[in-house]
């Protein structure tokens, strides 16, 4: 099975939610740790870094998947779910940061 190909709809959903959870939670949290602890960014720039890291995956993912006929269903699901989830996750992260 080539990289990115899923054997069924269930695998596709699992991969979609794994990608969304990484993009929506792990990536912004890692960006916050790096921005505050390592780079020493202040109260103005740290939330900017977190928001940029937590932005949903773009439509280019789908275009590449459709173009190369690989995991386009995962790409579509990831774009839709990440866009909807980012409203909630980014709001929570910004409130927790006090921004």
pLDDT tens track for 8-59: 566 777 887 887 777 778 888 899 899 999 999 988 898 889 888 888 777 6
pTM here is 0.65
Residues 6+ apart with CB under 8 A from 14: none
How far is the C-alpha of 88 from the C-alpha of 91, rounded, in Å?
Answer: 5
- Which of 47, 61, 49, 56 lies closest to 99 in space, CA to CA? 47
pLDDT tens track for 57-76: 776 677 777 788 777 777 77
Domain ranges for the chain: 9-97
Largest Cα–Cα separation, the chain = 46
Mean pLDDT computed over 82-89: 84
- Cβ density class 46-79: b for 16+ within 10 Å, e for less: bbebbbebbebbeeebbeebeeeeebbbbbbbbb
pLDDT at 99: 65
């Amino acid at each position: 099975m080539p990289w990115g190909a899923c054997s069924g709809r269930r695998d596709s959903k699992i991969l979609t939610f794994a990608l969304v959870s990484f993009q929506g939670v792990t990536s912004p949290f890692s960006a916050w740790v790096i921005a505050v602890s390592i780079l020493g960014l202040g109260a103005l720039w740290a939330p900017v870094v977190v928001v940029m890291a937590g932005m949903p995956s773009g439509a280019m993912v789908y275009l590449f998947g459709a173009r190369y006929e690989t995991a386009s269903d995962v790409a579509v699901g990831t774009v839709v779910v990440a866009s909807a989830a980012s409203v909630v996750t980014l709001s929570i992260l910004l409130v927790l940061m006090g921004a």
